Structure 1
């Protein structure tokens, strides 16, 4: 079979409900690598909470973080590495209007840095619970433009805050609202999506779109699924993602849906 570039979202796709990689997922992806296919993680997660999955899968390929804003090869110097950013003034404005907008927590990140405005005793995988004084998100500490920002919002303010950001900074950032139970808004540089990162990978490997397979389940996977030659929505994916996908997995992420589909499509079963 012609070499494929396989783009994998993490949450709700490659990971199960406990944010773990199952044995079957690891086995199928290893067989895909051995068959000569290219496996790449394309995630909205920052590098700090995705590197462990990259290492567990023993990948050597580039990884895309922050929904396309960062492309790099972990643990290695890659001459094609890139990082897109937006103006720090966007985050400073959010800090200044935090109470009015109903924002509880703001985190601003780049590849190797995170600054966070964090309330006491807040717990979430996406927001670190222990930060140094230098990691406190303030106007003075935010010296560089970030690649991404993540906002925890009061549920009742979610839509109005997203609208406010678009009206004031729509030329600077892309605004995404998570579909899960937590009212989270994420920001990336304007024009950046997972498709941007996937296209960058495809050009780097000189692989045509028709030989790209992409798996996803949420709003931030839409452009990637549309760009890929074969865009696959997870059974547990949103109705919007399913409506634009070329196919849908038979099983959800809790039952190895991605691995099952890939094993059959690439004829990897032994």
Structure 2
């Protein structure tokens, strides 16, 4: 019996304009009334994720698993790392002109004020206007628990593989994933969306075979592989489609998740 639905956000639950599909909130309410929980899993921060759900009861797997929150906002887990570990990554990213930094903490998402305007606009759009622009990224380690480093390589994705290859030098101390829209994400070693989903299921005592998971990109693979009820979006990366048991009929721009859940649960 399905007890939990988990979905990625960008490229899955959100369309290309960063909007949720029609009927999503109604589906979540109906599932909740049937005893089925909903978890949003994303590279975004909790604040950015929740801005799409208003007051809906949603479990949040934020920052690619770097922070996990229960429906009531309780922080279940955090994969914080200190500035000493982050510093070499930040220095390396700043050495390449096509890389631009975003730090994601438990409290906020941060971009340095002196970044190019193009990057600031793109980061603000991607994180749904939940970005704080600060004089120094180094200083935020003193006031927040930093759980993820995001590196934008450009909205057109032309440099994402180049950036991923360059950042592989830190693979011994960080988990690295491409998370779509040209982003290279680094979390504490061993942390992923899959790890976050495992924490949620352990807390609620839900077996993996009683979960449904939706995703579209490479940073979703760890959680998609945990369940036999895995769904790659019709617009998903080919590697994601190969790894999943199912592929949705519709894309993220066609309300694919809502339509699939409507069909699976026999909703109107």
TM-score range, shorter chain: 0.7 to 0.9
Aligned to 1:107: 102
Q: Distance in 1 between matches of 2:139 and 2:73?
A: 30
1:155-174 counterparts in 2 under 5 A? 158-167=160-169, 169-174=170-175
Aligned CA distance change for structure 1 residues 198 and 130 (closer, same or farther; 3 Å): closer
TM superposition shift of 1:7? 0.3
Q: Distance in 2 between matches of 1:145 and 1:36?
A: 33
Deviates further, 235-244 or 25-34? 25-34
Aligned to 1:189: 188
Aligned CA distance change for structure 1 residues 187 and 234 (closer, same or farther; 3 Å): same
| 1:208 matched to 2:207 | yes
Aligned mate of 2:117, from 116, 121, 139: 121
CA contact (8 A) 1:29 1:259 kept: no
Aligned CA distance change for structure 1 residues 158 and 51 (closer, same or farther; 3 Å): same
CA contact (8 A) 1:87 1:172 kept: no
The count of residues paired between Structure 1 and Structure 2 equals 259
Aligned CA distance change for structure 1 residues 138 and 193 (closer, same or farther; 3 Å): closer
Q: Deviations over 1:131-156 (max 9, x none)?
A: 45xx3334355336620011123667
TM-score normalised to the size of structure 1?
A: 0.85
Aligned to 2:218: 219
Aligned mate of 2:89, from 74, 94, 104: 94
TM-score normalised to the size of structure 2?
A: 0.85
1:20-169 counterparts in 2 under 5 A? 20-55=19-54, 58-59=56-57, 61-73=58-70, 76=72, 78=74, 81-118=76-113, 119-122=115-118, 123-124=121-122, 125-126=125-126, 131=132, 135-143=134-142, 146-153=146-153, 158-167=160-169, 169=170
Q: Distance in 2 between matches of 1:245 and 1:43?
A: 18
CA contact (8 A) 1:218 1:237 kept: yes
TM superposition shift of 1:157? 5.6
TM superposition shift of 1:264? 1.3
CA contact (8 A) 1:217 1:236 kept: yes
TM superposition shift of 1:130? 7.3
Q: Distance in 2 between matches of 1:96 and 1:175?
A: 16
Q: Distance in 2 between matches of 1:159 and 1:238?
A: 14
Q: Secondary structure at the residue paired with 1:13?
A: coil
Q: Deviations over 1:65-118 (max 9, x none)?
A: 0111101136x452x621102342343223434453335421212110333234
Q: Distance in 2 between matches of 1:11 and 1:184?
A: 12
| 1:247 matched to 2:246 | yes
Larger Cα Rg: Structure 1 or Structure 2?
Answer: 1
Q: Distance in 2 between matches of 1:94 and 1:202?
A: 32
CA contact (8 A) 2:66 2:191 kept: yes
Gaps of 5+ in 2: none
Q: Distance in 2 between matches of 1:43 and 1:156?
A: 22
